[in-house]
């Protein structure tokens, strides 16, 4: 990594690692979704996802029975321990508008729906789609409205400074 420039997959890895390692970050992230009230009762199923994923990173979501490839960049599956209710957050990160082509087609929700209740995706029963992107992109690109939630890099940078470094490098 040179000049504070991070590749998208590096930011994704940093984000996923922080979800596993930091209870505070995990609760902050979940509090920005429709599952906010459940966060104290949930467990991130990263070990279970890794067992299914094999050698690939547990959070990377590229598999599909029908297409062989999935459009969601990151998949985080949680379980409410008392009820065993499982839900998923399909997360896309984008720095520029050209990375939102699939959002223009509205495919993120369709993909998430198609993956529900499948054993290879741990039988989650509910989901939300989430976009991580610079505030300027969220405000200026209508395609971002195809996501249930939009979280600016600027707010993530409070936990993960690398997201702020991406913004500074782009300026």
pLDDT at res. 170 = 67
pLDDT at res. 61 = 73
pLDDT at res. 41 = 93
pLDDT at res. 165 = 87
pLDDT at res. 3 = 39
Give the angle subtended at the CA of 142 by the CAs of 148 and 27, to the nearest 5°. Answer: 30
pLDDT at res. 142 = 92
- Please write the tens of the pLDDT for every residue from 106-135: 788 888 999 999 998 999 999 999 999 999
pLDDT at res. 67 = 44
- Please write the tens of the pLDDT for every residue from 88-112: 999 999 988 888 877 767 788 888 9
pLDDT at res. 6 = 59
pLDDT at res. 65 = 44
Q: Which residues, other chains included, contact 139 with Cβ-Cβ below 8 Å and sequence gap of 6+?
A: none
Strand order in the sheet with 86-93: 42-44, 74-80, 86-93, 126-133, 149-152
Q: What is the pTM of this model?
A: 0.89
pLDDT at res. 99 = 85
Question: Which residues in the chain show pLDDT less than 50?
Answer: 1-5, 64-70
If you write DSSP's letter for every residue of 63-121 in order, what string do you get?
--TTTS--S-SEEEEEEETTT--EEEEEEEE-SSGGGGHHHHTTHHHHHHHHHTT-GGG
pLDDT at res. 53 = 86
């Amino acid at each position: 990594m040179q000049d504070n420039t991070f590749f998208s997959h590096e930011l994704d890895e940093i984000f996923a690692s922080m979800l596993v390692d930091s209870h505070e970050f995990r609760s902050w992230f979940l509090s920005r979704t429709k599952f906010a009230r459940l966060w104290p009762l949930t467990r991130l199923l990263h070990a279970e996802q890794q067992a299914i994923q094999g050698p690939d990173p547990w959070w990377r979501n590229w598999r599909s029975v029908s297409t062989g490839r999935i459009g969601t960049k990151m998949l985080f599956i949680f379980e409410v321990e008392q009820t065993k209710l499982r839900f998923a957050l399909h997360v896309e990160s984008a720095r520029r508008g050209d990375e939102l082509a699939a959002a223009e087609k509205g495919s993120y929700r369709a993909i998430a729906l198609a993956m529900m209740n499948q054993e290879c995706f741990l039988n989650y029963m509910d989901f939300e789609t989430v976009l991580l992107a610079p505030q300027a992109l969220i405000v200026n690109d209508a395609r971002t409205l195809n996501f249930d939630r939009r979280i600016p890099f600027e707010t993530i940078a409070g936990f993960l400074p690398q997201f702020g470094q991406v913004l500074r490098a782009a300026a």
